[in-house]
Structure 1
Amino acid sequence: MSKEARGQSWSLARRITWGCALTAAVLACSLSVTKFSWLFVVLALVIGASAGALLGGWIAKHFRGLATLIRGMQAPSDAIEFGSDGAPEEIVEIIDALRQKLRDVSGMAQSARLVSSGLGHELRSPLQNLMGEVDLALMRDREPGEYRDVLRGQREELYKLVRMVDNLLALCTAHESRRNSTAEHFDLGVEAGIRLDRVREIACGHDVELRMDRIGSLECDGDREAIMLILRNLLTNAIDSSPEGGVVHVLLNGEKSALEIVVDDGGARVAPEERHRIFDPLYRGHNGGSLSHGLSLALTKQTVEIHGGAIEAMESPLGGMRFSVTLPRGRQ
């Protein structure tokens, strides 16, 4: 609650204290008077009861208002707009706690929707490809080399499945991971040089050249695995979007106060009016782009924001899309 709100609202305990103090003062006055002392006691009781009734009605009004708002909710996110001006501090604390819990509920509900959508859409295509290749291979006897080709194709589809499942799980557990993750000190340039072998294999399999430049100091403090996931998702997204013989270029820039990751590809461009939606989970777009891109980009944006950074999509000098990520060197 803001300082202004705290200044405008009275604590219930404070109100009760003042009420008791007033009653005690009246009683003390009555006891100090010999004549008409019982009259003063009765008067004190009447005043105390009236003050208690007014106080109880005032408290009940706020709780009834809170109950009415809760009953009128259509979605968990509606509770975020609760008004709390003029309410007691204790009720405002209840509203704040309720807001936070309902944000968590809203996040879990969104995660459940993502899982159901992902299972229904993301996983169907690679599974159908695997089934089709197996059925085709079993239609007749083949040479060993042909079976190896089938297995290579299946391995590629299995890698896609693993990536999709990883992204789904990461999206669903992002809020929990944020609470439990710990910041590590590491060098992003060193990590990228060591841990992107699988991305290089994907680029080679798509006949795409992967170029990487590193400048400046790339040391930072943050969630190592989450930041590497950002880099991997951007690179695999760019590779999948690139034509055969294309180029994907990544720049890791550590010359500024914040780290910068810039990934360029030569694939299809996204229309300017659609760019604000390409980070929506499972958004396909008018050009029928791969759904897995939308999922990976949604996860990337969420992870970037959790780390206090920003991501932007724009046209690339290579002819396709550029994704620029800015991350603070310290965990926010």
Structure 2
Amino acid sequence: MDKGKSKLSLESLIPFYFFGYRISISGFYIWAFIIIVFMLLAGIMVGIVLWTGPVWSKILALILLVGFLGIGFWGIDLARRNELRKLKSCLLALISEKQENRVYFDQADDELGEIGFLLNQVLDLCEQRLFKQRRLMGGISHDLRTPLTIMRGNLEVALLRERTKEEYREVLESNLEEVDRLARLVEELLTISKAEAGDLVMRLEPVRLGQFLSELVKEYQVRAKDKGLDLTINIKDEIVINADKHWLTELFANLIENAIQYSQRGGKLEISLKEREKEAWVEVSDQGVGIPQEELPFIFEPFYRGTQAKTMATKGYGLGLSICKQIAEAHNGTIEVDSRIGPESGTIFKLRLPIR
């Protein structure tokens, strides 16, 4: 139970030992047993007193015995209803957006406890998704506002006075760049949305992964060289997988571009491929600035940009790695990351894909 969340106690458990075995019985059942025994004994005692009398006293004894048992069961039902009212109060609090409330119990010992446990799990899941949705909306709002502000500024300046054709052309070209940025943002958001909904269209075909990676790396050799980086590829095994070439290109292009973007002049980048445990293991490693350990669990979430990305003022929306994860999982694969910062900083993305 997280601190700051209110507790709604359903039951407390009392341990009993039966022939050396520890048995946890909810306090509710203990009190139910005590009530039944007490009312039964009271009924028997009254019955014994009245049974020695005439016939009418015997009938009265039976009526009193049944009445005592009825009162006992009514008390048990009242206690259970009280527990259900507490659960109802929790739900009403949640409806009123007091989402910090949780149903608290020591152990899911009976049906009500299990319901409370499952309810807490549902609430935690909803809270996590709501948090992600709010951050997603915040990220979208921020990334939409920036290009729109630039476009508005360009147009307002252009309208202040008459300008030459060349000046108007510059304004239009600048705005066209911002439109392209918005189009890329929308395209990436659609990709993530389709992937999360399971609607990502996959056109699988046999792909020679070593050849595919070699051709892709050639396209980035010039860019890496211009930045003073040594980009190499190491293929130990030629592997054939079933994959969608379009999405596979998107995945590795994001990883390679990130490696180039966050690496300093003179650094080395390597893409390696090998077969292990009937899987294709691909690693994209760099000697860049690295990622702090506390940020690693979040880097595959949409719109998450780490400290280094903000410090270096790199372009991007924080969607690339989230897309990589979705594409890897759509191919029944996995993607992980190891990173370190300091004198020997660097990052390794590890991709596992099933072999055809």
How high is the TM-score relative to the length of structure 2?
A: 0.55
Query: What residue in structure 2 maps to residue 240 of structure 1?
Result: 261
**CA distance in structure 2 between the aligned counterparts of 1:190 and 1:8, rounded to whole angstroms:** 57
TM-aligned CA deviation for residue 297 of structure 1: 3.3
**CA distance in structure 1 between the aligned counterparts of 2:175 and 2:71, rounded to whole angstroms:** 80
1:56 aligns with 2:78: yes
Structure (1/2) with the larger helix percentage: 1
Query: What residue in structure 1 maps to residue 337 of structure 2?
Result: 312
Deviations 1:223-246 (A, max 9, x none): 998877543432332243357998
Instruction: Select between 156-165 and 240-249 the one with higher mean Cα deviation.
Output: 240-249
Report if the CA contact (8 A) 1:77-1:103 is conserved: no
**CA distance in structure 2 between the aligned counterparts of 1:75 and 1:325, rounded to whole angstroms:** 41
Query: What residue in structure 1 maps to residue 197 of structure 2?
Result: 177
Q: Which amino acid aligns with 1:112?
A: R
Match of 2:136 among 108, 114, 122: 114
Cα-Cα RMSD: 5.7
Q: Which amino acid aligns with 2:130?
A: M
Of structures 1 and 2, the larger Rg is shown by 2
Q: Which amino acid aligns with 1:57?
A: A
Q: Which amino acid aligns with 2:305?
A: L
Report if the CA contact (8 A) 1:238-1:265 is conserved: yes
Query: What residue in structure 2 maps to residue 44 of structure 1?
Result: 66
Match of 2:212 among 181, 193, 212: 193
Report if the CA contact (8 A) 2:185-2:317 is conserved: no
TM-aligned CA deviation for residue 160 of structure 1: 4.5
SS in 1 for 2:316: helix
Deviations 1:39-68 (A, max 9, x none): 224312321331231243145236516735
TM-aligned CA deviation for residue 161 of structure 1: 3.7
Report if the CA contact (8 A) 2:289-2:345 is conserved: yes
SS in 2 for 1:262: strand
Query: What residue in structure 2 maps to residue 283 of structure 1?
Result: 306
**CA distance in structure 1 between the aligned counterparts of 2:248 and 2:77, rounded to whole angstroms:** 54
Report if the CA contact (8 A) 1:282-1:291 is conserved: no
Task: Calculate percent identity across the aligned residue pairs.
Answer: 16
Query: What residue in structure 2 maps to residue 89 of structure 1?
Result: 111
TM-aligned CA deviation for residue 303 of structure 1: 7.3
Structure (1/2) with the larger strand percentage: 2
Match of 1:262 among 283, 286, 292: 283
List runs of 5+ in structure 1 lacking aligned partners: none
TM-aligned CA deviation for residue 263 of structure 1: 1.5
Pair 1:211–1:126, CA change in 2 (3 A): farther
Q: How many residues align?
A: 295
Pair 1:261–1:218, CA change in 2 (3 A): same
Give matches, 1:67-78, under 5 Å: 67-68=89-90, 71=93, 76=99
TM-aligned CA deviation for residue 313 of structure 1: 3.2
SS in 1 for 2:68: helix
SS in 1 for 2:130: helix
TM-aligned CA deviation for residue 96 of structure 1: 0.8
Deviations 1:227-268 (A, max 9, x none): 7754343233224335799875433433334443322346x4
**CA distance in structure 2 between the aligned counterparts of 1:115 and 1:228, rounded to whole angstroms:** 28
Q: Which amino acid aligns with 1:141?
A: K
SS in 2 for 1:116: helix
Report if the CA contact (8 A) 2:281-2:350 is conserved: yes
Query: What residue in structure 1 maps to residue 185 of structure 2?
Result: 164
Q: Which amino acid aligns with 1:312?
A: V
How high is the TM-score relative to the length of structure 1?
A: 0.58
**CA distance in structure 2 between the aligned counterparts of 1:77 and 1:259, rounded to whole angstroms:** 44
